[in-house]
Amino acid sequence: MTPKKAILWECSFCKNGSRFVCTSKICSLNAEALTSLQKIKEHCISCVPEQSTHGVKACDGKLLNDDCICTLHQYRLGHNPKRRGIGNPRAHFAL
């Protein structure tokens, strides 16, 4: 899943599957000036009780209602883990 698809999935969950366009002014997932990863990072910071990056790092991604993992969890730090090492030929050896 890409960050953009994860955002669409999260928005669909928030709107209870409705196909109406979200017009929320307070949701960071609607921010026009940010990239998908930046939107996710800001959303996660506002989601954790500490409202900080330390709280985001400590997040386990479990949703309150279910034992499901949040679709945005893997992107919460503003990085796409599937792109690790792209553009850096020495990155494979750092693992």
pTM for the structure as a whole:
0.74
Q: How confident is the model at residue 16 (pLDDT cuts 50, 70, 90)?
A: confident
The whole domain housing 56 covers 1-15+35-83
**b/e code 7-29 from CB counts within 10 Å (16+ = b):** beebbeeeeeeeeeeeeeeebbb
Domain count, the chain: 1
**From CA 23, how far away is CA 3, in angstroms rounded?**
20
pLDDT by residue (tens digit) across 17-57?
A: 777 777 788 888 888 888 989 999 998 888 888 888 888 89
Q: Considering the domain boundaries, does residue 8 fall inside one? A: yes
Does the pLDDT value for residue 94 go beyond 80? no
Q: Considering the domain boundaries, does residue 21 fall inside one? A: no
